[in-house]
Amino acid sequence: MEYTKPLARLIECFQKLPSIGPKTAARLALYIVKMSENEVANFSNALLEAKTKISYCETCFNMSCSNPCEICSDNQRNKGLICVVAETKDLMAIEKTNEYQGVYHVLQGLISPIDGIGPEDIRIKELLYRITNEDIKEVILALNPSVEGEATSLYLNKLLKPFRIRITRIAFGLPMGSELEYVDEMTLTKALEGRVEIE
Amino acid sequence: MEYTKPLARLIECFQKLPSIGPKTAARLALYIVKMSENEVANFSNALLEAKTKISYCETCFNMSCSNPCEICSDNQRNKGLICVVAETKDLMAIEKTNEYQGVYHVLQGLISPIDGIGPEDIRIKELLYRITNEDIKEVILALNPSVEGEATSLYLNKLLKPFRIRITRIAFGLPMGSELEYVDEMTLTKALEGRVEIE
């Protein structure tokens, strides 16, 4: 027996989402059928609303319902400090630390020749525009320590050098709570390379 | 900064689903925003449709759009053989083997005194009704090898004994491809208990 049609259709929808395989998709779909009608209607609406109301800030390309976004229009933020991230989810991660007081620039991707993504496919020219036209003091590169992240960081570093602003990147090293013994060689190499003077 | 409101709402919806934590929920919601409008509309509709169109078969309590369900109304099926499962997902798992030719009875839960679920809260009286009124030759108990599954199997076995029909339960033992050395003690104990004569 096959899944009854509306169920099969919902499973297919769930399966399109990242990290959801066929088994999880089936479990989620069966769970939906057991939820109250109200809850399902709310979920259904939330999907539509998120898609129709959310757009991108035309300054920093963060996802937002307003343009400029909440961060770009916040006067308490240090507009001279730009943190460059690949995706909105990375911005969210940094916001959760409650430590960063500058603004952001979301590249909406990373340079990845294998996937056919070059510098012109991500929001690099928009970053250059901001650096040319705004009074930027420092750019922090906060990209993943992956091949694509490193390539994009190198590219940006080379590109931004002539502007004579401070260019930094976030530190790579041992995560808090980890044990030296169990950390992989690459991380340990980066931790050694990035060692700092003890004050 | 908090998530923009429609995003926060969608994240909350995803988080209500089983096995979806806050991080996965956020990732899924961000993915939705990046999907095409068409795809999101389709997903939104699929949710509503699954909830409104799918109901339960009044014979076996399988999820279905028709009553009796596709399995109960299939004349090729052996109506004298009932496989008792806890949930529709277990029925689906057995259907995938393409081996079973009987019909089912979905209990819609398991006896679990800790959660306040007694025999009267699941579809046991409906099973009794079928055994009393239909010509049943064998009942296969296919419940999870958990505390609740075992308790429900024991209860059903006691309850069905007087009907003088064949009562069996699926075998517990080593899963295919496993190694004896790495299998837990409980499974090995069950495998020894359930040993069969070599023909």
- Does residue A165 fall inside a structural domain? yes
Do A91 and A140 lie in a common domain? yes
Which of A67, A84, A94 has its CA nearest to residue A122?
A84
Q: What is the model's pLDDT at position B198?
A: 78
Which chain B residues are closer than 8 Å to A66 by Cβ? 4
Q: What is the model's pLDDT at position B18?
A: 93
**To probe the interface with B, which of A4, A31, A37 has the most B CB atoms within 10 Å?**
A4
Do B47 and B93 lie in a common domain? no
- Does residue A70 fall inside a structural domain? no
pLDDT confidence tier of residue A185, bands split at 50, 70 and 90: confident
Query: What are A120's two structure tokens?
Result: 């012109």
ipTM of predicted assembly, 2 dp? 0.75
Cα B30 to its chain centre, rounded Å, is 31
Residues linked to residue A105 through DSSP beta bridges, in sequence order: A84
Whether the pLDDT of residue B178 is over 90: the answer is no
Asked if residue B130 lies in contact with residue B80, where contact means CB atoms within 8 angstroms, the answer is: no
The H-or-E segment that residue A62 falls in is: none
Distances (CA, A) of B5 to A17, A53, A54, A63, A189: 21, 10, 9, 11, 42
- Does residue B154 fall inside a structural domain? yes
The maximal CA–CA distance of chain A, rounded, in angstroms, is 70
Which of A22, A1, A79 has its CA nearest to residue B94?
A1
For residue range A68-105, what is the model confidence (pLDDT) as tens digits?
Answer: 999 999 999 999 999 999 999 899 889 888 889 999 99
Distances (CA, A) of A170 to A94, A144, A194: 11, 9, 10
Whether the pLDDT of residue B60 is over 90: the answer is yes
Q: What is the model's pLDDT at position B78?
A: 95
For residue range B121-155, what is the model confidence (pLDDT) as tens digits?
Answer: 999 999 999 999 999 999 999 999 889 999 999 99
Distance from CA of A92 to the nearest CA of B (A): 8
For range A174-180, the mean pLDDT: 85
The pLDDT > 70 percentage for chain A reads 98
Do B105 and B153 lie in a common domain? yes
Look up the CATH number of the domain holding residue A173.
Answer: 3.40.1360.10
What is the sign, positive or negative, of the torsion defined by CA atoms of A147, A153, A156, A161?
negative
Asked if residue A124 lies in contact with residue A156, where contact means CB atoms within 8 angstroms, the answer is: yes
Residue B30 in contact with partner chain A when CB distance is under 8 A:
yes
For range B13-28, the mean pLDDT: 93
For residue range A112-156, what is the model confidence (pLDDT) as tens digits?
Answer: 999 999 999 999 999 999 999 999 999 999 999 889 999 999 999
Do B80 and B43 lie in a common domain? no
Do B91 and B178 lie in a common domain? yes
Whether the pLDDT of residue B46 is over 90: the answer is yes
Segments of A58-147 assigned E as strands: 63-64, 78-85, 102-106, 138-141
Q: Which of A85-89, A105-109, B186-190 has the lowest mean pLDDT?
A: B186-190
- Within 158-187 of A, beta carbons closer than 8 Å to B belong to none
Q: What is the model's pLDDT at position B108?
A: 95
Query: What are B133's two structure tokens?
Result: 């009124």
Asked if residue A13 lies in contact with residue B49, where contact means CB atoms within 8 angstroms, the answer is: no
Find the domain containing A28 and state its range: 5-53
Do B17 and B87 lie in a common domain? no
SS3 string of chain B?
CCCCHHHHHHHHHHHCCCCCCHHHHHHHHHHHHHCCHHHHHHHHHHHHHHHHHCEECCCCCCEECCCCCCCCCCCCCEEEEEEEECCHHHHHHHHHCCCCCEEEEECCCCCEHHHCECHHHCCHHHHHHHHHHCCCCEEEECCCCCHHHHHHHHHHHHHHHHHCCEEEECCCCCCCCCCHHHCCHHHHHHHHHCCCCCC
| Contact: A92, B3; criterion CB under 8 Å | yes
For range B7-25, the mean pLDDT: 94
Which chain B residues are closer than 8 Å to A64 by Cβ? 4
Do B188 and B93 lie in a common domain? yes
- Does residue A9 fall inside a structural domain? yes
Do B190 and B135 lie in a common domain? yes
Q: What is the model's pLDDT at position B177?
A: 85
pLDDT confidence tier of residue B1, bands split at 50, 70 and 90: low
- Does residue B58 fall inside a structural domain? no
Residue B108 in contact with partner chain A when CB distance is under 8 A:
no
Look at chain B and report how many structural domains it folds into.
2
Q: What is the model's pLDDT at position B63?
A: 92
Do A142 and A190 lie in a common domain? yes
Look up the CATH number of the domain holding residue A12.
Answer: 1.10.8.420
Closest partner residue to B51 (CB to CB) among A12, A32, A53 is: A32
Q: What is the model's pLDDT at position B156?
A: 95
Do B157 and B192 lie in a common domain? yes
Which chain B residues are closer than 8 Å to A3 by Cβ? 92
Whether the pLDDT of residue A54 is over 80: the answer is yes
**For chain B, what is the mean pLDDT?**
92
Asked if residue A25 lies in contact with residue A11, where contact means CB atoms within 8 angstroms, the answer is: yes
